[in-house]
Structure 1
């Protein structure tokens, strides 16, 4: 055997035999494949379409029908050469033929107009439908503005106008009786300018708020609406709370603005007659001056430019100047005076007035004196005099209106 494999002729004969065997095997497989492809129907395909519209054949001028699905699922079986052009061009239709049927409930089959060597399967195959007399009626269109709470602060919807205020609805008599409202919705979120010629869809609902599918003479209307920012000018009032520290009293308050323009929706504006400031805490006021105060704006009210105002607070202060010496005037030479009341020869002054005026006053600005001229020795009650540079709206009161003194002559040596 080993000698055979060493022989060139044996190897050549073996290779030839192997090549012939391989050729016969390939030829048989090829013929088998060709035979199978030549058998009719073995290369057919099935294509399924799920969105085929369903047409309705009926006297639409007098009748309406319900229960017909908008779309049907259609499966087509046939050769690709027939299927692909039909599917690409949609050169067929699915329909229900209701001509000749009377009003009432019916069970009908979905039909098609496909001919030739194509098998057709429609789902659903049969449907339950209802035929009713057609009715037409005109309904007013109402408008519902959405997200009015999301308009910019102070803005509101004003007057609006539809290019058509009514719509003609055609449907079955029974469905017509269910109609509760015809409405359009207009979203105004974030708007600060008018709506101009916006097209919005018309919706029909029953009394429970369920949307109804009916035929209308138009599907949309055009709306224009004003977006307003109402305003009014109102006076400003100054609000205070608490009490001034001891020794102070409030003379007056005034603001650098008497009135302010405010913006809000009409319902809010109608209830506002004035705007007050944020409360000023009087317990922290110890001098006259000007402070910056915010405005206490109600909810939903804004101003365009004014955020704070300047309020001038005038405070009256009462100060006591103690130990004012009583000066003696006109005492005769050689006489001596002794103060009985007050025995110290001093008294207090009470100064009251605008804090800004009296804040700089001190003991040196006043002089208390008594006129002792031409008095005989003895006890006397003498009115006092207060000398100072008088200021408007400042009052000065002494502790005593008069003093009691004793005048003595000196004793001879």
Structure 2
């Protein structure tokens, strides 16, 4: 059974049901039941017309749901007789679903969950496992999200920027459970790029590919983090890097710079360096300056301060850091790194320990604890 095919067909089948008169929430539920039926009945191969099969089964599931609810008998009359089996036309509804699932009324967490269900074709269980929450909790989140967008008419162009932010949130969740969310985000962004001619879509895809290329080198066998400077660059995926750089270059020549293109340019400069020492930090600082012009944020300024420390010396980086709020996430870790580079191991060790206590993940905390221990061991008792 081809799970990738099922996921790719999901938004199309939902769109067909909606055009036939189903509301989005019930259509999405019906398609999920059809997918379960497909998993049960396609163990040795898909039918000759997988989309037509899914449309037919999902429509029957929808009618069953309508008939089971006495309060919806009026809608059943409006829906009428069951249409003939088949794909229901060639209209592409995937893009409409992207915009619906990332509606401004939804919280980021709800938008991500709904996108993974309706556009990604994942089950509630898979999404729950990926986010390490109970299935019932995720089911409630998705149900609330569907109620929020019930009745929303997509008769105007949607906000591509919002869609891209949701996809980037999915990518940054990485991997947990039996679904690789980073790979899923890349797949969905590829689909979006095929439907939307926008350089920022290409910029996001390039950024994902360039980051994903370093994935195998980011952790050791015991799960501990490996900083970028210490990674074995021979383990980076050269094919993904080449694809990411090619996509980025094609986007940049259109001269419509956006935040994802600028971030991808920074990632490309890291990927281009054969060793950490050969990294072109001066260009990286310049790209952070470009990024600040299109999207100023404390996180960008924090990353720029570290880059300044590499390009112009640790004192310059610390001076840039002083302009930021010390409560900013990873501020203390950045300060520790720059103090170490500035030849102040005592301050660096203290700051690494402080940063470890505030770390948001166990691998990050363990890495910072080891950094503090390393410097303390050098200083002696």
TM-score normalised by the chain length of structure 1: 0.19
State which structure, 1 or 2, has the greater radius of gyration over its C-alpha atoms: 1
TM-score normalised by the chain length of structure 2: 0.20
Q: Which has the higher strand share?
A: 1
